[in-house]
């Protein structure tokens, strides 16, 4: 198997300047480091200085394009307000906005037309309100909690909508609302076949017996009804399409039962990103796109991001550490699962599984792994001859992984300090620019984990913030993160 791919500029004409745009301030004399990524689009000289400081602080950076995120949301909003649909759109910013940064991502989603924000954990919902995103600007829904300890009183006081999907949850929300003397806004979670949280059809009568008196008393306001889809991201599998149809039918039956009990939901939401893109019939009053906001399709079976007019918002890059020559047969990393097939040079990328680089993206060769060959995660590297796509060689370590350069570093012009790209917003591995989907394939996982597992020790830096956000929103960001 070939483990390198040449990506010359004729194939990638928009990258003709990449070879001279790497970091160069204050290290190793006057040389210009090679870079496999374009220089960030700095909004000011201050942004350039903050970028250089980030490179001095840590040898890896996640560059997040807020303009791409805003435009992704605009695209999703446009879908939900066309073809006879008038659904509002929730920007799902759970898990630190899928690793992109909670507050910046929430603000970009709102700039793109979202009128709701969603977080799984209650503390992130409270962080959004404390940052200054008030109820006059958007509704916020939170849905995962320990019902015995969650601060329902704080959530209700902050005018945050809460999900209820268990009997203890109903009781706890009601108790908090009574203590505050303030009505709680609730969304009733129903289990239509996902098997996670929510009331099952068999247990729903008891839930209604508790919800209806509380609603009549004015302790709770039953705002919504919602559920999760299990396989909406597999439209190519007839069995899964039929399963989604059964979930939809079950959802409608829950609506009927709520309406007959006198607590008809005003807002129903079932569509995740997959259904938002492919099932306009179930957008209802609200949709909840998550991964789509960040520019990815839910599953490669649905196509590529460009299929839906979406653009990935994050680029992960790093600066090379030790570069050295090694002889043929040299063991690379733990377990000697990779032995260099020829005299070569290696380079260390100083990010590892403590940074969120999945250890399952390690690369083995048939010499070292005893007839087991497994391609590692792809990395784009600039050389004196042009761009090359290399792969993780050997096991990913806690703080680093190694690349076999498949050639002499001195001849390739590769040195310590050069910037490499692990994944970016581009056109996929085949054209020399790996994406999070490519890393997901290497680790046998999904793109979601590639983002959400990135450690906070990797700085997040934001492009196009002054273009996307007004002065008030811009003031909510950490100024050291604005490029």
Report, as residue numbers or ranges, the catalytic residues.
94, 334
Name the helix (H) or strand (E) containing 471: helix 471-474
Q: Provide CB contacts within 8 A for 327, sequence distance 6+.
A: 340, 343
Q: Which residue has the tokens 């680790």?
A: 443
Q: Which residue has the tokens 């999945």?
A: 358
Interatomic CA distance for residues 447 and 441, integer angstroms: 9
Residue 394 falls in which region: left (phi positive, over 0), alpha (psi -120 to 50) or beta: left
Residue 263 token pair: 């607590």
Residue 80 token pair: 């939900």
CA 194, chain centre distance (Å) = 22
Interatomic CA distance for residues 57 and 41, integer angstroms: 20
Helix 167-180 × helix 204-217 angle, to 10°: 10
β-strand partners of 471: none
DSSP string, 185-243: EEEEEB-SSS-SSSB-TTTHHHHHHHHHHHHHHTSEEEEEEE---SSTT-TT-HHHHHH
DSSP state letter for 39: P
**181 C-beta neighbours (distance < 10 Å), count:** 7
């Amino acid at each position: 198997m070939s483990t390198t791919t040449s990506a010359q500029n004729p194939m990638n004409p928009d990258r003709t300047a990449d070879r001279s745009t790497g970091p160069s301030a204050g290290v190793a004399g006057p040389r210009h480091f090679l870079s496999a990524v374009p220089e960030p689009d700095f909004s000011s000289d201050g942004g350039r200085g903050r970028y250089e400081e980030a490179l001095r602080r840590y040898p890896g950076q996640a560059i997040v394009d807020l303009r791409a995120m805003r435009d992704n949301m605009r695209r999703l909003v446009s879908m939900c307000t066309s073809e006879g649909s008038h659904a509002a759109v929730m920007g799902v910013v759970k898990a630190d906005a899928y690793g992109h940064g909670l507050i910046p991502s929430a603000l970009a989603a709102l700039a793109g037309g979202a009128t709701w924000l969603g977080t799984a954990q209650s503390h992130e919902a409270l962080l959004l309100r404390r940052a200054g995103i008030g109820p006059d600007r958007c509704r916020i829904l939170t849905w995962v909690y320990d019902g015995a300890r969650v601060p329902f009183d704080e959530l209700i006081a902050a005018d945050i909508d809460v999900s209820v999907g268990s009997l203890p949850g109903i009781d706890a929300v009601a108790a908090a609302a009574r203590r505050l003397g303030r009505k709680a806004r609730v969304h009733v979670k129903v289990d239509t076949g996902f098997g996670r949280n929510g009331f099952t059809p068999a247990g729903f009568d008891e839930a209604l017996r508790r919800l209806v008196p509380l609603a009549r008393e004015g302790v709770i306001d039953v705002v919504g009804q919602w559920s999760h889809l299990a396989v909406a991201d597999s439209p190519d599998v007839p069995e899964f399409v039929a399963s989604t149809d059964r979930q939809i039918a079950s959802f409608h039956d829950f609506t009927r039962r709520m309406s007959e009990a006198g607590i008809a939901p005003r807002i129903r939401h079932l569509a995740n990103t997959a259904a938002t893109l492919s099932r306009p019939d179930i957008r209802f009053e609200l949709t909840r796109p998550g991964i789509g906001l960040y520019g990815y399709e839910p599953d490669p079976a649905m196509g590529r991001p460009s299929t839906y007019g979406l653009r990935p918002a994050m680029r992960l890059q790093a600066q090379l550490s030790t570069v050295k020559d090694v002889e043929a047969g040299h063991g690379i990393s733990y377990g000697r699962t990779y032995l260099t097939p020829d005299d070569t040079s290696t380079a260390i990328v100083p990010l590892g599984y403590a940074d969120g680089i999945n250890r399952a993206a390690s690369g083995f060769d048939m010499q070292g792994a005893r007839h087991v060959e497994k391609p590692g995660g792809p990395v784009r590297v600039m050389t004196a001859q042009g761009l090359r796509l290399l792969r993780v060689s050997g096991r990913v370590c806690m703080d680093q992984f190694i690349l076999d350069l498949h050639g002499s570093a001195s001849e390739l012009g590769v040195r310590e300090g050069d910037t490499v790209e692990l994944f970016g917003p581009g056109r996929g591995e085949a054209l020399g620019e790996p994406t999070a989907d490519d890393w997901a394939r290497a680790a046998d996982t999904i793109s979601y984990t590639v983002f959400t597992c990135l450690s906070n020790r990797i700085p997040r830096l934001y492009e196009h913030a002054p273009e996307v956000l007004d002065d008030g929103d811009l003031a909510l960001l950490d100024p050291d993160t604005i490029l």
